[in-house]
Amino acid sequence: MSVLKNLKNLASDSLIYGLSGILTRFIGVFLTPIYTRVYTPDDYGVIGVLTNAFILITIFLVFAMDNSTARWFYDTEVSEERKRIINTWLWFYLFISVIATVFFFFTANYWAALVLDDYADGAYLIKLLALTLPLLVLPSIGVNVLRFERKARRAVFLSLYQSLILIGFNILFVVILKKGVAGVYYAQLWGAILTLPVAIYFLYTWIGLPSWFDWVKFKEMLRYALPFVPASLGYWVVNLSGVFFINEFLPKSEVGLYQIGISIAAVSALATTSFQQAWSPFAFSILSQPHAKEIYAASLQLYVFVIGFICTLISVFAFEALVLLTTPAYYGAALVASMLTFNYLLMGLTNIAGLGASIAKKTAPLGMISLLSAGLLVALNLFLIPLYGKEGAAFAICIAQLIIPIYMFWKSQQLYFIPYKFLKNLAVFAAFIACSIASYHLPIVGFFSTILLKVILLLVTFFLIAWVNKEELYKIKSILKVRYSVR
């Protein structure tokens, strides 16, 4: 298959995932003005703590077996073998999720006192979250299996359906029934219940009895997954634990502002996540093609140019987004949002950086650097948050996240060399960061006049990058035009 066709397939899959994300995020952004008028920054602080704790629990439940399943799935074309691989993950995930539900339901009082201090309904909220855990197993596996099959439209439909149901229940419980913070978790529980039958519909040909669980495959997959667990924990520490550090040093209102900053920055995840969802199945599926390495190198260039510009756009206009979507009580989240936008860019870059290690089935380097990154973040948080508040936490995350793709590119190149253009891509990345920093030093001359100045700054940056990198852009254009036939 030609380089052109492969890149078009990657772009097509990314676009499909991206359109889903755009629709879902649009609805979520539409609800932000409502929620910021229902909840105080203190309420957002509680939601932020519970949300990030829930993600931490999910990391242990998944136990990185999704990565193993993806890798083993493409090792065979035999349907029965693939079904055993899927069911090995499914029954493992379901079993430990049920155990976790029982554990957290009956120890809710302890965890509420630990992470929510004196919040009145803390134990009740944790019980609601605990009941949700096993209900999310099949939807999660369903989306992944559809991605493995390269059925992007069906995967997007399932994800989008789940998001729309969740948003609908949020409107019902939070806005109409006025259930307060508990409304968020009623919505999650009922959203999971109504998503379950749709997930079963998409998975019914894959779901088998517990006898389809394969102990031999499980041991192999577990060995592959183990290094991803500290990597996932490191990811959580680097990207999500800041809420807990801020909660320790600062008032709940600052936690809420930080959480709003994450929400604004997460708009950039429309671009980065859509690419990530398409990237792994795409990269593994073309591994045996003769021009694979050239395609991988071109993909990095496209990612830095296109996704980098989108993230910079969101970073530059973070304050204006807060003005349009929230109340003045939340405007203080602007700088946090701008900084965390680049964290999402780095997270997506890590997927590309670790490709060589994944191809070689060497996952230990990712686990090691993720733990080192997490340790660095803890140290930076302890130092920067007392000095610079929530902005210090955002800066700490970006620094700790940066070392992961740097190391993974270095290690992956040793295991599976790809002809990346590192200096050119680094220069583009630095230019985008400089543009974002410069936007905060523009003169304040009124809301719309400031927007105009920022637009001019972005255009100047874009054309400067295009001029300096015209040779690389020409090569990318040539790759997109010239067909390389498989020999």
Closest residue by Cα to residue 336 from 321, 324, 349, 351: 321
Predicted confidence at residue 19, as pLDDT, reads: 52
- Kindly tell me if the per-residue pLDDT of 421 is higher than 90: no
Q: For the chain, which residues make up each domain, given as ranges? A: 1-38+226-487, 65-223
Identify the three-state secondary structure at position 357.
Answer: helix
- Chain position carrying tokens 């870059």: 349
Q: Are residues 301 and 425 in contact, defined by beta-carbon separation less than 8 angstroms?
A: yes
Q: Are residues 218 and 88 in contact, defined by beta-carbon separation less than 8 angstroms?
A: yes
Predicted confidence at residue 1, as pLDDT, reads: 46
Residues in the chain, overall count: 487
203, two tokens:
């998975």
Q: What is the spatial distance between Cα 439 and Cα 441, in angstroms, rounded to a whole number?
A: 5
> Phi, psi (5° rounding) for residue 121?
-100, 20
DSSP-assigned letters across all residues of 284-298: HHTTTSTTHHHHHHH
Type of residue numbered 264: I
CA within 13 Å, CB half, 280: 26
Q: Are residues 229 and 221 in contact, defined by beta-carbon separation less than 8 angstroms?
A: no
> Phi, psi (5° rounding) for residue 369?
-70, -30
475, two tokens:
């090569």
Predicted confidence at residue 11, as pLDDT, reads: 52
Residues 382-409: pLDDT tens digits?
A: 999 999 999 999 999 999 999 999 999 9
Give the mean pLDDT of 50-61.
Answer: 87
Residues 144-171: pLDDT tens digits?
A: 888 788 777 787 788 888 888 988 898 8
Closest residue by Cα to residue 171 from 38, 277, 49, 73: 38
Residues 94-133: pLDDT tens digits?
A: 999 999 999 999 999 999 888 887 677 889 999 999 999 9
Least confident of 274-278, 359-363, 393-397, 462-466: 274-278
- Kindly tell me if the per-residue pLDDT of 476 is higher than 70: no
Predicted confidence at residue 480, as pLDDT, reads: 47
* Continuous H helices in 318-421: 318-325, 334-353, 355-359, 364-415
Give the mean pLDDT of 49-71.
Answer: 85
Q: Which residue has the higher pLDDT, 130 or 32?
A: 130
Instruction: Tell if the pTM clears 0.85, that is, is over it.
Output: no
> What is the band of 48 on the pLDDT scale with cuts at 50, 70, 90?
confident
Least confident of 223-227, 272-276, 292-296: 272-276
Give the mean pLDDT of 447-465.
Answer: 90
Q: Are residues 432 and 312 in contact, defined by beta-carbon separation less than 8 angstroms?
A: yes
Q: Which residue has the higher pLDDT, 92 or 371?
A: 92
> What is the band of 487 on the pLDDT scale with cuts at 50, 70, 90?
very low
Q: How distant, in Å, are the alpha carbons of 32, 96, 115, 276, 404 from that of 243? A: 19, 26, 11, 25, 21
